[in-house]
Amino acid sequence: MIIDCHTFIWQSPEQLGPNGTSLLQQPVILGDRRVRLLPKADIATHFAASEPVDYCFVLGFTSRQLNADIPNRFLAEYCREHPNQMIGFAGVDPTEPGAARQIKALRSESWVGGITLSPAAQDFHPSDTRAFEVYESACKLKLPVVLTNGPVLTPQTRLEYARPILLDEVARTFPDLRLVIAHCGYPWVDETLTLLAKHQHVYANVAGLLHRPWLGYDAIVRAYQMGVLDKLLFGSDFPFATAAECIEAVYAINQTARGTPLPLVPRSDLRRMVERDALSLLGISSPSSRVIAALPKARRVPKTDGRFS
């Protein structure tokens, strides 16, 4: 089983904020060329890119600070169209009034597997009282929380709030809350790995690192040496890379160090990372079982022993 734990979709770059298009067209290096690309994040492209994986997390994003919003209803429609594969992580902004109540309403939605927060892009300290209300609701409702800087890094993003070490108080206060630090907390990878070693239910994904060979190698080797590789989750960072590209990149990680004194990671450990059961780790039921649970009892199909499936 392969689960892509980090993807985004949107209908228009403007949903990422007023400067969404220009920010998406930042120059990137492809081979020996420096080019500007506008990633395609529409649902058709996303669905095609998700073909190699069994399940896919589709992250929402909303930020009053950035005037950005990928509507949760857009995620809901897409995830409901593909209920056996897509799992939505609703975007929630703790600085918006009623954010904690919003989570309670989302919990009953069959497409929701968790929530997405962005302290840096939403302009709140991770220990902000408003954020603690959100964590408390998520913890009570058993909803995992993905923490990300958003689809793109903007000049308005508050990087001082992106430090993974600031989540230590959150993890201490809510030890049963499943937290996933996106991008392995880059550029503060060591802080992230320390949290993974310290807290049972803190995880990280490698999205955004795998299509940059040295960054991916460095993070994975450090995790392996610290004994926390089993807490790294696979993620493609779509639309900036595809699952197929990133799966290949994981298995090619050791090429970066071959012929040098640098350490290698056993292929069996790399395979376990790619095939990690993130659903079980994060306490998420499979999409099909969540759809069945959301059906009225009269519509459920009885098993041969008389119980409902």
The domain that contains 247 carries what CATH number?
Answer: 3.20.20.140
In a domain, 225, yes or no: yes
Q: Mean pLDDT over residues 87-94, rounded?
A: 98
More confident residue, 253 or 37: 253
Q: Are strands 68-70 and 61-63 parallel, antiparallel or unpaired?
A: antiparallel
Does 155 fall in a domain?
Answer: yes
Between 31 and 124, residue with greater pLDDT: 124
- In-domain check, residue 83: yes
**182, part of any domain:** yes
Burial 25-63 (b: 16+ CB within 10 A, else e): eeeeeeeeeeeeeebebebeebbebbeebebbbbbbbbb
Whether residue 207 is contained in a domain is answered as yes
Query: Does residue 301 register a pLDDT over 50?
Result: no
Interacting residues of 212 by C-beta distance below 8 A, sequence separation 6+: none
Q: Does residue 308 lie within any of the structural domains?
A: no
pLDDT bucket at 91, cuts 50 / 70 / 90: very high
Flag whether 304 is in a domain: no
Distances (CA, A) of 226 to 7, 173, 220: 27, 24, 10
Q: Does a structural domain hold residue 50? A: yes
Q: What is the model's pTM?
A: 0.91
Q: Could you tell me the residue range of the domain that residue 204 belongs to? A: 3-299
Check pLDDT > 50 for residue 275.
yes
Quick count: other Cβ atoms within 10 Å of Cβ 270? 20
Q: What is the mean pLDDT of the chain?
A: 92
What's the structural domain count of the chain? 1
Residues in contact with 195: Cβ distance below 8 Å, sequence separation at least 6, in sequence order:
164, 165, 167, 168, 171, 181, 202
* pLDDT at residue number 36: 64
